[in-house]
Chains A and B, each alone.
Chain A
Amino acid sequence: MTTATLPARAADFPRARAVLARGDRWFLRVLRGAALTLVAVVLGIFLEMSVSAWPAVRAFGVRFLTTSTWDPVAETFGAVPFLYGTLLSSLLALAVAVPLGIAAAIFLAELAPTWLRGPINFLTEMVAAVPSVVFGLWGIFVLAPLLRTWIQPALGSTLGFLPLFQGPPYGVGMLAAGIILAIMIVPYITAVSREVLLAVPNTQREAALAIGATRWETTRMAVLRYARPGLVGAVLLALGRALGETMAVTMVIGNRPEVAVSLFAPGYTMASVIANEFAEATSDLYLAALVEMGLLLFVVTVIVNGLARLLVWRVGGPVKQVRE
C-alpha cells in the first residue's frame, strides 16, 4: 500500500501531505497488528503446548511413541493405540471418500448439465455445514445399530476369512468411525477438487476436444493430469480434517485403547482421548501426556495442511480461495 497515487499537486503542500501520510502509517500499523495477531496465535499454540507437554516428553521420550500401555493410575503413557486408531480410521475414511469425492467433483465441474451444478454443489456444501456432534448422534443411534444387525454379520459371513472382518459385531468401532469420517470429509474433497478443476484453463479442454476426444477422455487426459497437484492437495486437506476430527469419532469408535486388526473392534483416537480424559486428568504428568498428544496432532495437521495448501495454490493461485 503506497501513497504514490496522491494528487499530483500534493507535493506543493508538504504539511497536508505529512498529515495524510501519518494517518496512513497508523492505519497500516493497525492492519499489520491484526495480521501479526493471527501469526502469534499459531506460534502461541505451538510454543504453549510444547512447554506444557515437556514433563511428558522428558519422562517418556521416544517410548511415548513406541509403547502401548495407557495407564493413568501407574502413570505410564504410551500412545501407540491412539496413533494407530487415528491413522487407521483416517485411511479407512480416505479409501471411501477419495474416489467418491473426486468423482463427484468431476461431475460438478466437467460433466453435469449446467442447471444441475448449482443445486448439487449447494447440497454438498450443506453436508460440510452439519455439526460434528450431529453426525455423532446419527452414528450412535442409526449407523451403529445398522452395522451391528445387518452389515457386520453380512461382511463376517462373506469376507470373514480376512482378519479385517472377524470378531463380534459391536456396531461401534473402527468401521463405524471410518464410515462417519468418510461421510464428513467427502464434501471437503469435492469442494476443493471442484475449485481446482475449475481453475484448469479452458484451452486444455478445447485442445483435447478439437482432436476428437470424448468428454471423459478430455477430462482424463487434459484436465485431471493438469489438476493433479491440486487434487493431491484436496486429499491432504481432507486427511487433515479426518486426523483431527473429534466429536463424531469419539461417539462411535468405542473408546478402547487397543491395537486390533479387525475393523469390527473398538479403537481410540488421539483427539478422542483428549476429549474424554483431559477434563478429568488429575496428575500433572497425565495432563502433560494428553497435551503431548495434542501437540503431535497439531504438528501433523500443520504439516499436512501446509503441504496441501501449497499444492492447491500451485494450480489455482493463493488468492482463489476455497470456501469451507
Chain B
Amino acid sequence: MNPRRRRLVNRLMSTLSAVAAVATILPLLLIFAFLLYQGASAINIDFFTRLPKPVGEVGGGMANAIVGSIILVGLAAVLGVPLGVLTGVYLAESRDSRLPWTARFLADVLNGVPSIVIGLFVYALLVLPMRRFSALAGAAALAMIMLPIVARTSEEMVRLVPASLREAALALGLPQWKVVLRVVLPTARAGIVTGVMVALARVAGETAPLLFTAFGNRFWHQGMDQPIAALPLQIFAYAIAPYDDWHRQAWAGALVLIVLVFLVSLTARLATRRRVGAMR
C-alpha cells in the first residue's frame, strides 16, 4: 500500500479516537454546567435546614433527605463493608478448590444485577415480613449493591501485598489469622478504604432499590423500622412533579448529590494513587 495513504489513515484514526474521547466526557461537562446554572440559585440555608413544605407552598428544603441519605449509606456500610472485606480476603488467600472461583464469578454477576431487582428481593425479604417500608430495608438493599464492589477491590488490594511480608510474619510463628489481621490487612488498608469509598459513592446516588424499601418520607428520621427519606428519592419525586418550585429544588438536590459523590470519588482516587505508588 501507498505509504502516504497509510500515514494519512494513521493520522485520521488518531484524530477520530481523540474526538471520541472528548465526546465521551462532553456530557459530564454539560450536565455539570447545567447543575451549577440551575441548582446554585436554588441552594440556600433553608435547603439544608428545613423540611419540605406541603404541596403548593413555596420554600422549604431537603434537610430530612440529606440526613436520611447519610443514615442509609452509613447503615449500608456497617452491613456491607465487613462482609465485603472478609469475602475479599477469602478470594485472595483461600486455596479452596471451587468456592473462590464461584464466589468471584457471582460477585461480578451480582455487580451487574439491576439495582431495581435487588429492591424487589429486599421487598420480599424484609418489607413483607415487617409489613412496612423501613430504613433497615433500604440499607440492606444498598449493602447488597456494595458487597461485590468492596469484595472485589479488597481482593485486588490483598493480592498486592508482597508475599515476603506474609512469609516474614509466618516465620516469626504467627498463626495465619493473625498474619491476615495484623500484617496483610493493615498493609492493604488504603486500597481497601478506596474500594469502600467507591462503593459508597455508587450507592449514595442509587434510587431504584430504595423505591419500595426505604420508600421516602416527608419528615425527619423516625426509627430504623420506619420509612425514611433519601436525597435521590426526593430528587426523583420532585423532578416528575408539575411544580416549578419543586423542579428548582430537584436541581439543587442534584447539585448537592453530585458534589458529594464527586468529592468521595476524588478522595478515593487520590488516596490510591499515593498509596499504590508508595507500595511499589
Contacts and interface: CB of A to CB of B under 8 A. Distances in A.
Interface of A: 1-3, 5-7, 10, 20-21, 23-24, 26-28, 30-39, 41-42, 44-45, 48-49, 52, 99-101, 103-104, 106-108, 111-112, 120, 122-127, 129-138, 140-142, 183, 186-187, 190, 214-217, 219, 237, 240-241, 243-247, 251, 271, 274-275, 278-279, 290-291, 294, 297-298, 301-302, 304-306, 308-309, 318-319, 321, 323-324
Contact of B124 (A5, A48, A323): A48
A45 B83 contact: no
Main secondary structure of the interface of A (DSSP, over half): helix
Contact of B14 (A31, A215, A305): A215
A123 B90 CA distance: 33
A34 B258 CA distance: 32
B87 A237 contact: no
Interface stretch (B42-50, B51-59, B93-101): B93-101
Contacts of A36: 99, 103
Given A49-B121, A301-B113, A131 B89 contact: no
Contacts of B239: 133, 136-137, 140-141, 251
Contacts of A111: 13-14, 17-18
Given A6-B170, A274-B116, A130 B86 contact: no
Contacts of B21: 103-104, 107-108, 112, 120, 124, 190
Given A104-B20, A302-B109, A297 B87 contact: no
A136 B233 CA distance: 12
A319 B156 CA distance: 7
24 contacts: A5-B170, A5-B171, A23-B178, A24-B177, A26-B177, A31-B86, A37-B83, A38-B110, A103-B17, A104-B17, A107-B20, A127-B28, A130-B261, A132-B208, A133-B239, A134-B257, A140-B239, A141-B239, A274-B120, A279-B211, A291-B120, A305-B112, A306-B109, A321-B153
A271 B202 contact: no
Interface stretch (B3-11, B70-78, B218-226): B3-11
Given A3-B176, A32-B99, A186 B24 contact: yes
Given A137-B235, A319-B155, 16 more contacts: A1-B93, A34-B87, A45-B113, A49-B120, A104-B20, A127-B25, A133-B239, A134-B258, A141-B34, A183-B27, A216-B9, A251-B240, A274-B116, A278-B212, A279-B211, A321-B153
B228 interface: no
Given A37-B87, A246-B115, A100 B20 contact: yes
B112 A131 contact: no
Nearest to B159: A319
Given A42-B110, A294-B117, A309-B109, A133 B83 contact: no
Residue in A131, A190, A251 with the greatest tally of chain B CB atoms within 10 Å:
A131
B172 to A, nearest CB: 8
A135 B95 CA distance: 43
Contacts of B180: 27
Contacts of A104: 17, 20-21, 23-24
Given A5-B171, A42-B109, A106-B17, A133 B155 contact: no
B75 to A, nearest CB: 17
B212 A279 contact: yes
A238 to B, nearest CB: 10
B207 A132 contact: yes
Nearest to A117: B21
Contact of A112 (B18, B114, B156): B18
A48 B115 CA distance: 16
Contacts of B167: 5
A308 B109 CA distance: 9
Interface of B is mostly: helix
A38 B149 contact: no
Contact of A45 (B93, B111, B121): B121
Contacts of B245: none
Interface in B104-136: 104-118, 120-121, 123-125
B83 A100 contact: no
Contacts of A138: 30-31, 34-35
B198 interface: yes
B149 A244 contact: no
A123 B232 contact: no
Contacts of A45: 113, 117-118, 121
B251 A131 contact: no
A321 B109 contact: no
A214 B13 CA distance: 11
The 10 A-B residue pairs with the shortest CB-CB distance, nearest first, are: A244-B114, A131-B205, A27-B177, A103-B20, A305-B112, A34-B86, A107-B17, A31-B90, A214-B10, A246-B208
